Chain A
């Protein structure tokens, strides 16, 4: 399987110093109806050796599903929860909620080696299989996968290809600061949100560029988030991994297409 991924990867754009600071891959599925808060602890007991720290988080709720989630609540105490499980050196994270399983990797220092998709997918496969086994052994039912997600979070810091928001077309060819009558001055802030249907796959690519300050070091940056969600052909692991490969392919192609050749040069494009 990895040989196949590697062969696909050779055809995809690649960079010496990509601006990615975090990557996520995971599976959205129909809510596990029998899932209760104690199951977070039972699952943690199985992975605690490798993920020793835990944090509760508010759930990720897709907007159209919000009402149906609320209507299923039997009491205010049943509000859905999400749990984060951190690995020892806090570079990887597993997120679990009753309809979502995600695996995150983050770069904690600029000098740290960037981990490619093929480095991370074996980690995901191991944790995902452990989660499925947990659901099965606890009698919680089988996963009905609805989407495979891959997200790359990129930080394009001020001074790296752009100085003001009037320069943004140097970073994103799709953006122009031109106006019809040149009445407006150059913009002081710009955000971009775009969604694209995927070719040959049932899914969408979402791209968001947001002006922000990184909390870790108070540096100004543009956070470029590229997310692909693909519907897998079935809930089998093989189809889920295939869906992830498709999503990853479109994230890389979309990122490269959305950003300029000038930026590709700064990031050291290899292919």
Chain B
């Protein structure tokens, strides 16, 4: 017997189903989370003009949003992201799994932009997609990450 499973959501990933309301991420499931959170926090130590092109400090709101995102989307089997400062005071998270890549940029104004890349042939239009995570960004980001690891 087979079942059609549509759009797995974050809550459906949490097994076994919990009667608890507040959400935590188990450090046994994603032991890299603490290190990633520390690396995001450490971006706050970069001075103004850290890139030599006049970029401001990495914004505290951007760091906070990136930390909450990492804490919310981490799941067993997801690799640790590459974390970097981005022009304009933003935080960048980059994941790669086989020929699939995902980049998220957390802007100081709260916007979260993403870039989705499939395959090495970047000249093909269908190999890249970009956009903004608007409604429930953690859930939307999780769906993209599930795509990247190949479960969607």
Interface residues of A (CB under 8 A from B): 21-22, 24, 26, 57-61, 63, 76, 82, 93, 95, 100, 102, 104, 106, 151, 153, 188-189, 191, 210-218, 220-221, 223, 225
Contact = CB atoms under 8 A, between A and B. Distances in A.
A218 B12 CA distance: 21
B34 A58 contact: no
Contact of B11 (A26, A57, A188): A57
B151 interface: no
Interface stretch (B17-25, B50-58, B104-112): B17-25
Interface in B20-51: 20-28, 31, 33-34, 37
Interface residues of B, number: 30
Interface string B77-112: 000000000000000000000000000000000000
A213 to B, nearest CB: 4
Contacts of B18: 60
Given A218-B37, A218-B67, A220-B34, A212 B27 contact: yes
A213 B138 contact: no
Contacts of B27: 189, 211-213, 220
B22 A21 contact: yes
B142 to A, nearest CB: 11
A61 B16 contact: yes
Interface stretch (B68-76, B114-122, B125-133): B68-76
B138 to A, nearest CB: 7
Contacts of A191: 28
Given A76-B3, A211-B27, 6 more contacts: A24-B19, A61-B16, A151-B20, A215-B71, A216-B68, A220-B27
A76 B138 CA distance: 29
Contacts of A22: 20-22
B6 interface: no
A106 B27 CA distance: 22
Contacts of B25: 212-213, 215
22 contacts: A21-B22, A26-B19, A58-B11, A58-B17, A61-B16, A61-B17, A63-B16, A104-B19, A106-B22, A151-B19, A189-B27, A210-B24, A212-B24, A212-B27, A215-B72, A216-B23, A216-B68, A218-B37, A218-B67, A218-B68, A218-B70, A220-B27
B151 to A, nearest CB: 16
B1 to A, nearest CB: 7
B68 A24 contact: no
A225 B20 contact: yes
Contacts of A61: 16-17
B13 to A, nearest CB: 10
Nearest to B41: A218
Contacts of B17: 57-61, 82
- Shortest 5 CB-CB contacts between residues of A and residues of B: A212-B24, A218-B67, A218-B71, A211-B27, A58-B17
A93 B68 contact: no
